[in-house]
Amino acid sequence: MRPDITPLPDLLHGRPLTGPVRTERPVYRDILPPCNAACPAGEDIQGWLAHVEAGRYEEAWRTLVANNPFPAIHGRVCYHPCESSCNRAELDSAVSIHAVERFLGDLALEQGWQFQPPGFQSGKRVLVVGAGPSGLSAAYHLAMRGHDVEVHDAAGLPGGMMRYGIPAYRLPREVLTGEVDRIFSLGVRLVSGHRVNDLEGEMRDGGFEAVFVAVGAHLSKRVDIPARDAGRILDAVTFLKSVAEGDPPVIGRRVAVYGGGNTAMDAARTARRLGADEALIVYRRTRAQMPAHEEEAADAEREGVTINWLKTISAFDAPELTVEAMELDDRGYPRPTGRMEQLAADTVILALGQETESGFLRGVPGVEFSSDGTVQVSSSMMTGHPGIFAGGDAVPAERTVTVGVGHGKKAARNIDAWLAGSVAAGSEKPQIASMDILHLWYFGDTKRRVQAELAPEERISDFSEVLAGLSASEAVYESQRCLSCGNCFECDGCLGACPEDAVIKLGVGRRYRFDYDRCTGCKACFEQCPVHAIEMVFEEG
């Protein structure tokens, strides 16, 4: 301190105040964890993990379902991009977020926890077309905003591809039903077995002021395969739907699935459970190029499914299947080689992708389509026709349950604003707490908890669930592995590091504050904070 400056006395400690000499001051500021940023459903993952760690299970569940009404479903079928982005993976292994989410979802079903309906009604009616993940998500979020919601769906039971496309060994039907029914307990009405053909007419007759179109991609893409017995060629969507409805087709002892996506893996694994001695997948590209998630392909192989890479089907004359070997050109595209091979197959199942059932929108003024039949929407998810919004498989996007649920939430927010004559507030691009800004002195190596699973030979005997859930103690342990990236978790590091006693602890759950009359801006707290919940900002003036 300059000798010509006389500091004011500090009556409490008898020391001079030091604050005025600093050029920067520390501030507590939460920034976005990478898991939250990567979640298509927009979950506050770090927030509900913190509640689980503290044993506040119902509070954790309510924090989770504020964004996603299907934790028990997502804990089973989501491909957890949150874990791919988890900073912990660079330290030892990612937090098993999906397993903790499943724990909360299952506990909520067991305990009978229900959504808390809003205490008001808007008087606005909204139609949702499609009772799949995106439509049901929109219905939930719209109902929670006080709107009167009605869902129209062509199927007999709600759930969409969650019910008719995802096999029971991945998603038990009692879990699906439990989480779906909770939405209807909010007062959302379901009209099932009803295919919408005249959208404008339905809106007019029902007095709906807005609509969210969330029809699924249930139309299978076809390919012409020279075959003597066409009845032995099935499409994967119809095949999986018939199995889900309890009316599986006769497929024989040897089944070939044509395609390399997750649906192909599900079809082959389902065939094994229906008694096929041999199930093989034919895919024209390499394993690295397959659209299926690696864990799906690995599970299929563990269950005895053979995957033929760089092969394409040329002809089918049961029980003989002719395939042609492919090779990659300089650009990585497969091209035929002329080399043929004979394989055995009684049935061929086509899993070459699905198209959206959007034909009923063709006559709606202003609605425009992409070349693949999906609907074009604005950043607010509204089509070119005012009041008609679309999402999920109906629009160009990755076709997963989680993406669909995220679309439903986003659409509900924008529909709510549109009904009020306003525009939903946008958000600035947040700073993400990447690994390079953390100071991980606080955390040691801990081993990720692994979910128990059925042995491969047990799996193929029926449709029992393959993966088990976590116990309460395992869920708490896994939550404790969270690094709380970018968010203060009250480790007291700043409190212990400050040489000026400028950090004031406010009590459990209330975090801290800075006494800027004492703070010198030395950065000790900033450098000590393991999760970058403190930032240094320049003094103004």
CATH code 3.30.70.20 region(s) in the chain: 19-30+488-538
Question: How much is the pLDDT for 95?
Answer: 97
Residues of the chain with pLDDT under 50: 1-17, 19
Summarize pLDDT for 142-161 with one digit per residue, the tens: 999 999 999 999 999 999 99
* Average pLDDT over all residues of the chain: 91
- Exposed, middle or buried: residue 65 (CB in 10 Å: 0-12, 13-18, 19+)? buried
CA angle 296, 404, 129 (to 5 degrees): 130
To the nearest 10°, report the CA torsion of 316, 317, 320, 323: -20
Architecture of domain 19-30+488-538: 2-Layer Sandwich (3.30)
Query: Model confidence over 202-211: pLDDT tens digits?
Result: 999 999 999 9
Name the CATH topology of 125-217+356-419.
FAD/NAD(P)-binding domain (3.50.50)
**What's the order of all strands across the beta sheet hosting 334-344?**
311-317, 320-328, 334-344
Q: In the prediction, which pLDDT does 508 show?
A: 86
Question: Is-contact 326 337, C-beta < 8 A?
Answer: yes
Residues of the chain with CATH 3.50.50.60: 125-217+356-419, 220-353
Distances (CA, A) of 184 to 163, 167, 289, 313, 434: 16, 23, 41, 45, 39
Q: Note the pTM of the prediction, 2 decimals.
A: 0.91
Structural contact between residues 249 and 270, judged by C-beta atoms closer than 8 angstroms: no
Centroid of chain to Cα 218: 20
- CATH architecture, domain 220-353: 3-Layer(bba) Sandwich (3.50)
pLDDT at 441: 78
pLDDT at 355: 76
